[in-house]
Amino acid sequence: MENDSLIFSVYCYDELLNDGRSKLPYEACGILSGKNNQIHSIWKLKNEVKSDRRFFVGKKAVEETLLQIALKDEKVLAIYHTHPTTAPVPSYTDIKNHRESEVKMIIVSYKTKNPIVKCYCVQNRVYKEWPFLIKPIV
Ligand SMILES: [Zn+2]
């Protein structure tokens, strides 16, 4: 399903990696929004629990971000978070908390020297890898 691949701009992809790195040793999290399958914006959220195993963002912060996204006439394409010390595989909690199958799950792992980015589609608590590309200019 090549046509359904999520498309990152280089900028958003770099910012995603930067955000994750800057929040180490804790988990980072945020939202990626855009149009069709193209990511135009990255919204770095504050992980309200300082943890390397989970993340939590308050309702208010999420609602404010969703409003900003709507104002830009974009929609939420993916939610990202990082795994500072473990593989980029969704945990039981990740799956349980991910309710919308339309929204992709992105996990960045810093377990290895070079971070690994994985994208997943989660449906009925089952996840599968989803393709993504990085485009120089969007
Ligand atoms: Zn996780």
> Based on the structure, what is the number of domains in the chain?
1
Per residue in 37-74, pLDDT tens? 999 999 999 888 888 888 888 889 999 999 999 999 99
CA of 51 to the centre of ligand 1 (A): 11
Ligand 1 centre distance from Cα of residue 90 (Å): 5
Is residue 82 within 8 A of residue 109, CB to CB? The reply is yes
Centre of ligand 1 to C-alpha 81, Å, is 6
- Its domain, for residue 77, covers 2-135
Q: Is the pLDDT of residue 2 over 90?
A: no
Is the pLDDT reported for residue 85 higher than 70? yes
pLDDT-based confidence at residue 109 (cuts at 50, 70, 90) = very high
pLDDT of 137 strictly over 80: no
pTM of the full predicted structure?
0.92
The span from the CA of 62 to the CA of 82, in Å, is 18
Q: How far is the CA of 57 from the centre of ligand 1 (A)?
A: 14
Q: Cα–Cα distance between 57 and 30 in angstroms, integer?
A: 9
User: What CATH number does residue 84 fall under?
Assistant: 3.40.140.10
**pLDDT confidence band for 83 (50 / 70 / 90):** very high
Residue bearing tokens 């790195």: 21
Rounded to an integer, what distance in angstroms lies between the CA atom of residue 60 and that of residue 52? 23
